[in-house]
Amino acid sequence: MLEQLAVILDALPYILEGALVTLGIVGGAMSLGLVMGIPMAVGLVYGPRFVRFILGFYVWFFRGVPILTLMFLFYFGIFDLLGLNLSALAATSIVLGMTSAAYQSQIFRGAIESLPQGQLKASRALGMSDMQGVCTIILPQALRLSIPGWSNEFSIILKDSALAYVVGAMDMFTRTHFVASRTYEHLTLFITAGAIYFMITLVGVKLLLALEKKVRIPGYTS
Amino acid sequence: MPSENNTPILQMQNICKTLSGKEILRSVSLDINRGELKVLIGPSGAGKSTFLQCINYLLIPEQGQIILEDTVVNPGVKKDLYNYRQQVGMIFQDFNLFDHLTALDNVAIALRKVKGMSKKQALEIARKELDRVGLSDKGDLYPAELSGGQKQRVAIARALAMEPKVLLLDEPTSALDPELVGEVLSVIRDLAKEGLTMIMATHQMDFARALADEIVFMQQGEIIERGSPAALLKEGSGTRTADFCNKLSDMCEELD
Ligand SMILES: Nc1ncnc2c1ncn2[C@@H]1O[C@H](COP(=O)(O)OP(=O)(O)OP(=O)(O)O)[C@@H](O)[C@H]1O
Ligand SMILES: [Mg+2]
């Protein structure tokens, strides 16, 4: 028992450093997914037919192909082909981010479509352009409604980030695996890593819940 | 200036609109002079809402043209379209307030985004407009915290803040509980007395009788009768309008 405790304490700084790498991957992927997902959602709802078609194809592709396949496809295939020399960490972030964009666009699209569209009409009637109406009236409300879905997406990406292992990014999972194969303390070490993943999820979800409460519109239900 | 009153401020000429293959407006024409209040009435499905939405190009008619103060509006040019819409305000049946903004910000937002005013300047005007509709103490409340009548008054303040030359109102009291209708009508009455040019679809016949300069009766996408309230609504005048109004009041009595 003491022996195992010593292994954990020994490995902990190394694993925690990996937790930072994991957070970096998740942060990068969530941000990329957000930056791509919002305009994609707007295009999916308000765009002309061919834009909707292209975006629909994107969403279908990234939702339909396993992330592990995407990791290999991009890291060993497409990024190479484009002559991009990306670090394993950046590559993981980008692949997860592009996948997340597909899911996030669906979260935002659902939120936009759930809003009463008369508000956009009212903004037009005041002389706003559609762009202004969407940016100042629709998105601020849609993003509020998206926080629960976003929180869900966060916990999914956090778990998917362990796929960084296959391209050799030194995230928490990869490091835990290294130490485990050296010390043969698989059970102890993976329980430790699991606990840390669990804590990160808990904190992230709580923070987003706090954000949701903070931006809640007074008197507004639904 | 009486001469000014006799020139139309807004002219709709031969407006045609088809929706989903169905002809909704069949060459509707209407002129309105400065300071007039025209009331649109007619059975459900007559095309009143469609016509009002065509007037400020929320719907683009397939045919016909609109002339605002001698200038033909070209809705194909975005800048002209946005500019035109600023001058022709619209009040909707279901208010369409911006749910994430306080009453004050609902009024101020277009002043900032469309007219490019500073936040301070916009809020100052917003306060003044809310005061005008009797809501100076509700500025910090969100739409979900207001009653229907208060929401519609905020919507009116929001439209007035843009200083429109013409205000379109599409059944502004139809979504309200009966006890809240009065507060909204009294705001509109004040606007009429101040000389704001308005086109209003409504089923409030007492209001129309008292304040309308002209009643315009629509049916199946056409204007089939028009005239002063006195002429159209006179007992035994035999007009379709009078007939329709009698049916309306019968219906109200049944409901009571
Ligand atoms: N998007 C649409 N597609 C097809 N038909 C439509 C559409 N919008 C409205 N209509 C039809 O157009 C006709 C006129 O509708 P409109 O809403 O203008 O009538 P209205 O006079 O305002 O009636 P109400 O008193 O019920 O408000 C109706 O027959 C309606 O069914
Ligand atoms: Mg209508």
Nearest by Cα to A30 from A103, A114, A91 = A103
Lowest mean pLDDT among A20-34, B222-236, B242-256: B242-256
Tens digit of pLDDT for each residue in B114-160? 999 999 999 999 999 999 999 999 999 999 999 999 999 999 999 99
Largest CA distance in chain B: 57
Q: What residues of B are in contact with residue A219 (Cβ under 8 Å)?
A: 141-145
- Is pLDDT at B1 greater than 50 in this prediction? no
At how many degrees (to 10) do helices A88-114 and A49-64 cross?
130
Dist CA A100 CA A25 (whole Å): 12
- How far is the alpha carbon of A222 from chain B, nearest alpha carbon, in Å? 11
Q: What residues of B are in contact with residue A218 (Cβ under 8 Å)?
A: 141-142, 144-145
The 10 Å Cβ neighbour count of residue A139 is 20
CA distances from A76 to A133, A160, B59 (A): 43, 18, 52
Tens digit of pLDDT for each residue in B88-124? 999 999 999 999 999 999 999 999 999 999 999 999 9
What's domain B8-255's architecture? 3-Layer(aba) Sandwich (3.40)
- How far is the alpha carbon of A119 from chain B, nearest alpha carbon, in Å? 5
The interface pTM score, or ipTM, of the predicted complex is 0.91
DSSP secondary structure letters along B138-178:
-TT--GGGS-HHHHHHHHHHHHHHT--SEEEEESTTTTS-H
Ligand nearest to the CA of B223: 1
Domains defined for chain A, CATH in brackets: 2-215 (1.10.3720.10)
Tens digit of pLDDT for each residue in B72-84? 999 999 999 999 9
- For chain B, the structural domain boundaries read 8-255
